[in-house]
Amino acid sequence: MKRGCRIASGRLLAGLLFLFLCLRLAGEEWLPESRGKVVRHTYYVLDFNDEHHQANWVYYEMSPERLVKRASRKDDFRTDPAVGEACATLADYRKSGYDRGHLCPAADMAFDERAMSETFYLSNMTPQTHACNAGIWSRLEAHVRERARKERLYVVTGPVFKDVHGAIGKNEVTVPGYFYKLFYSPSRQQMVAYVVPNKASRQTLASFAVPVDKVERITGIDFFPGLPDELERIVEADTFSHAGDPYITALLDAVAGKESGGNPAEEKVRRPKSGDNRTAAADKTAGTSSDSRRYVPSAREQVILVLSVLLLFGMWRIFVYRGKRAGKKSRSRSRRSPSRSRRK
């Protein structure tokens, strides 16, 4: 009996361990592809670009639970020891005329003292004009926080090294021409992306909304590669606004090669997968309503489902085994009782 229980318990524990590992992997599968050095901090991950002395992207998770303010802003700007000498310094920004613009906003990490402090690593900064930092970029950050008060979001943000405004400081930190911010909502199966210029703008946020696949063309980065291919094609090609700011539209056209009649080299930035006509899919789904899309469970939801099945299966096996053992004991006792009565 004890041996059987140990075997059943071992199977259950093995199943739980397997699911724990799957959950750990599922929590990291939304990371964009790396083009530099991946640096992990407590609540966000960045991909550092040594050439430009700043991150290619910063990835983090937002949820209603994380938007409870428990920490105060200390403004403890400092170099990132995990990056090393390639990291920008305070001297690079001093008297440069540019703000130290957060990629992962400090306000998004106000739920924890350490989380808040780590946003002030200079690896999480990018040179922004004050008009951009305090204007359209601040409005965009507030908008994403407002969305995250209602649902869990996976956010990626970073610079666009097109139409750069030179460099600052001894380390020659590149001043990006644009910035992007995009997020994925598993509950709505929706991706929303924005590209804003590094300057003042009075345009509405909606005018800066672009399809995610176009941001991938601009940056050469594959965002959310862990999503199922079919779902990725749909959500990356869709956006709620196609009007566009004229500066952003010109940037997208230039990168797509429309002004020069097409550039084969630029088409290789994001190669379609085998048997997949990505451009055709984008054209076909650009006007698709989110209400008409088939719901596809996220990887995390699928893992939780597997965890539940394994737990139920393990418990069922234990109950069945105990039932069989109880039945055998009952039968053995019933067989022994007649012999005892005969002896009497």
Which residue is it, tokens 């690593």?
Answer: 121
The C-alpha atoms of residue 74 and residue 165 are separated, in whole angstroms, by: 29
Query: Does the annotation mark 143 as catalytic?
Result: no
Q: Which of 102, 143, 165, 242 is catalytic?
A: 102
Q: How many helices (H) and strands (E) does the chain have?
A: 11, 11
Show Cβ contacts of residue 83 under 8 Å, excluding neighbours closer than 6 positions.
37, 39, 48, 121, 123
Whether 317 contacts 5, CB under 8 Å: no
DSSP letter, residue 197? E
Which residue is it, tokens 């008297």?
Answer: 95
List C-alpha distances in Å: 227 to 22, 112, 238, 287: 15, 29, 15, 21
The C-alpha atoms of residue 287 and residue 252 are separated, in whole angstroms, by: 18
C-alpha torsion sign, points 223, 191, 41, 50 = positive
In a 3-state reduction of DSSP, which class is residue 263?
A: coil
Whether 182 contacts 172, CB under 8 Å: no
344 exposure class (CB count in 10 Å sphere: 0-12, 13-18, 19+): exposed
Whether 74 contacts 117, CB under 8 Å: yes
Q: Is 59 left (phi over 0), alpha (psi -120 to 50) or beta?
A: beta
Cα dihedral: 85, 88, 91, 95 (round 10)? 160
Catalytic residues: 102
